[in-house]
Amino acid sequence: MPPPPPLPLAGVTVVSLEQAVAAPFATRQLADLGARVIKVERPGGGDFARRYDTTVRGQASYFVWLNRSKESITLDLKTERGLAILEELVAGADVFVQNLAPGAAARLGFGAEELRERHSSLITCTVSGYGTDGPWADRKAYDLLLQCQTGLLQLTGTPDEAARAGISVADIAGGMYAYSGILSALYTRATTGRAPAVEVSLFDALAEWMGQPAYYTRYGGTQPPRVGARHATVAPYGPFTASDGKDVLLSVQNEREWAALCRAFIGRPELADDPRFATGSDRVAHREALDAIISERFAELDSDAAMELLDRTGIANAGVNSVHEFLAHPVLTERGRWQDIRVPGTTDPVQALLPPAILSGVTPRMDPVPEAGEHTEAILAELGHGPDDIAGLREEGVCS
């Protein structure tokens, strides 16, 4: 059997001065595609995200999710020797990623402009909170703060209380744009020889995801209301409780589906022509009355019967799952989407999801999550540092 073809990013080296979520999410996806990702961490603990929790075989759930298939080197960048080693690493890299506090990389001499002057073929990627210029360039930015600043927090929750989105949506958005920006820059360098710098702010990333409510508010005069698990501008689109107590979400997207719901599910075909519900806007305006009618029908059916009838009617629906139910979802289990990976401190594997983008003929890389500094000695040796020099660096606290 011939060996498998190389992964798409095999031969690409990424050095990442990263922490928390956004930059590690970007670089992990590069590692999935075969890039060598060298993660630079602090001696004596490493990336602070390692200590967010201890739920995954003693490791943090965020860190396990974001850092598989990477190599970890610890360097004290407050020392001249630590900075010199970082420079050695960057000199041999294709991509340099950093999401340090505002201005920190530049103060170390590793700002994007300085690096591009020293290494013309290096692609730099800066992940910031509010951009590297402008009035908020120096402000710290954490996920929930960005949900507040973009207005997202005012769109989620109930009429009585706003609610945080249940995942780190600003960090994820920023990481995705950093990842796609780096891929675009690599393509540009390969086709033109020019290595463009990439910059992504978490604010800009989440602002883009706020596009629909932004248009709705600017040109409609009011922002979409908070309506819990229901859709703010489409109805009926939300959960209803069946007779067995399980919630089932249904979604009607057009007049044809609305007529079918009235006829085959609710059993009242005349509702399709009721002026209160004749158009999508009418149904949103009379949501309370509409939901009451649909709720009455759900009270007559258990969840399985309701979903079966909705399926036959051609109405999109789904049970409202817990995370436990999601973990056992047949769309994941029957398609082999889970794969074992190793984490530090245990021989027991943990399950990780394969990357969402499926490339024909490509098996993504799913290597272990590294311990802090696990690859320090090997990387230093690769750079030409002998055993005595490495021991001296450790004694000086430059690395661990």
| pLDDT one-digit tens code per residue, 18-44 | 999 999 999 999 999 999 999 999 998
Q: Write the CB contacts of 131 (distance below 8 Å, at least 6 apart in sequence).
A: 137, 199, 201, 203, 204
What angle in degrees, to the nearest 10, is found between the helix axes of 202-209 and 211-220?
60
Q: Write the CB contacts of 239 (distance below 8 Å, at least 6 apart in sequence).
A: 229, 230, 247, 248, 249, 320
CA gap 141, 102 in Å, rounded: 9
pLDDT of residue 5: 80
Is 70 exceeded by the pLDDT of residue 1?
A: no
Whether cis (ω within 30° of 0) applies to the bond prior to 236 is yes
Is 90 exceeded by the pLDDT of residue 380?
A: yes
What would the two tokens of residue 141 be? 């930015």
Q: C-alpha 234: how far from its chain's center?
A: 26
- Active site residue: 119, 231, 375, 385, which one? 231
- Count CB-CB contacts under 10 A for residue 362: 17
Q: C-alpha 145: how far from its chain's center?
A: 17
Active site residue 231: yes
Is 80 exceeded by the pLDDT of residue 3?
A: no
Mean pLDDT of 68-79: 96
CA gap 52, 258 in Å, rounded: 46
Please give the C-alpha separations between residue 132 and each of 95, 104, 199, 312, in angstroms, as whole numbers.
19, 11, 8, 53
User: Domains of the chain, with CATH numbers?
Assistant: 13-210+339-395 (3.40.50.10540), 237-319 (3.30.1540.10)
- Count CB-CB contacts under 10 A for residue 93: 22
* Ramachandran assignment for 297, one of left (phi > 0), alpha (psi -120 to 50 degrees), beta (any other): alpha
Rounded (5°) CA angle 388-392-397:
150
CA gap 142, 21 in Å, rounded: 10
pLDDT tens for 139-186 read 989 999 999 999 999 999 999 999 999 999 999 999 999 999 999 999
pLDDT of residue 394: 93
Helix (H, G, I), strand (E, B) or coil at 39: strand
pLDDT tens for 295-335 read 999 999 999 999 999 999 999 999 999 999 999 999 999 99
Mean pLDDT of 95-122: 94
Give the burial class of 117: count Cβ atoms within 10 A of its Cβ; 0-12 exposed, 13-18 middle, 19 or more buried.
exposed
pLDDT tens for 381-399 read 999 999 999 999 998 999 9
CA gap 196, 189 in Å, rounded: 8
Is 90 exceeded by the pLDDT of residue 57?
A: yes
- Count CB-CB contacts under 10 A for residue 134: 10
